[in-house]
Amino acid sequence: MTGTDQSAAAFCAALVRTHDFDRYASTLFVPADKRRPLLALYAFNAEVSRVRDQVSQPLPGEIRLQWWTDALAGNGHGDVAQNPVAAELLLAVRTYDLPVDRLAKLVDAHIFDLYNDPMPDLAVLESHFRDASGTLFACAARVLGDASEAVDHAAEHGGLAQGVARITARLPYDAARRQIYLPQDMLRPNGGNSEEVFAGKLTPATRTTLDQLIKGAQEQLVVADRMLADVTPQARSAFLTLALVKYDLGRMAEASFDPFALYLRSRLRTLWTLWRAS
Residue at a domain's end among 99, 128, 156: 99
Q: Which domain holds residue 95?
A: 1-99
Asked if residue 149 and residue 45 are part of one domain, the reply reads no
What pLDDT score was predicted for residue 5? 75
Note whether 39 and 135 are same-domain residues.
Answer: no
> What's the pLDDT tens digit per position in 44-102?
999 999 999 999 899 999 999 999 999 999 886 667 878 999 999 999 999 999 999 99
Instruction: Give yes or no: residues 142 and 258 share one domain.
Output: yes
| Per-residue pLDDT band at 215 (split at 50, 70, 90) | very high
Instruction: For 147-190, give the secondary structure using H, E and C.
Output: CCHHHHHHHHHHHHHHHHHHHHHCHHHHHHCCCCCCCHHHHCCC
Summarize pLDDT for 131-176 with one digit per residue, the tens. 999 999 999 999 999 999 999 999 999 999 999 999 999 999 999 9
**Rounded average pLDDT over 216-237:** 97
Q: What's the rounded Cα separation, in Å, for the pair 273 and 277?
A: 6
Q: How far apart are CA 35 and CA 70, in angstroms?
A: 26
**Is residue 104 situated within a structural domain?**
no
Domains held by the chain: number:
2
Q: Per mean pLDDT, which range of 3-7, 147-151, 210-214 is the poorest?
A: 3-7
Which has the closest alpha carbon to 39: 143, 156, 155? 143
Q: Provide the pLDDT confidence category of residue 6 given band limits of 50, 70 and 90.
A: confident
d(CA 277, CA 26): 10
Q: Of 164, 169, 276, give the one whose Cα is nearest residue 219.
A: 164
Whether 3 has a pLDDT exceeding 80, the answer reads no
pLDDT value at residue 164: 98
Q: Give me the CATH number covering residue 10.
A: 1.10.600.10
Q: Tell me the C-alpha distance between 58 and 48, whole Å.
A: 14
Over residues 185-204, the mean pLDDT reads: 96
Q: Which of 99, 124, 154 is the last residue of a domain?
A: 99
Q: Is position 14 within any domain?
A: yes
| pLDDT score of 77 | 63
Q: What is the rounded distance in angstroms from the CA atom of residue 88 to the CA atom of residue 25? A: 19
Predicted structure pTM score:
0.95
Q: What mean pLDDT is reported for the chain?
A: 95
Residue 105 lies in a domain: no
| Same-domain pairing of 135 and 261 | yes
Domain assignment of residue 40, yes or no: yes
Same domain (yes/no): 153, 228 = yes
In a shared domain, residues 93 and 127? no
Q: Tell whether the model's pLDDT for residue 42 goes beyond 70.
A: yes
Residue 37 has pLDDT above 70, yes or no: yes
In a domain, 77, yes or no: yes
Contact 77/15 with Cβ under 8 angstroms?
no
Residue 23, Cβ density class (10 Å: 0-12 exposed, 13-18 middle, ≥19 buried): buried
Decide: 38 and 140 in contact? Cβ < 8 Å.
Answer: yes
125, 259: one domain: yes
Same domain, 171 and 77: no
**Which range (42-56, 66-80, 176-190, 257-271) has the least confidence?**
66-80
CA distance 90 to 74: 9
Q: Same domain, yes or no, for 175 and 269?
A: yes
Does residue 93 share a domain with residue 125?
A: no
Determine the pLDDT at residue 149. Answer: 96
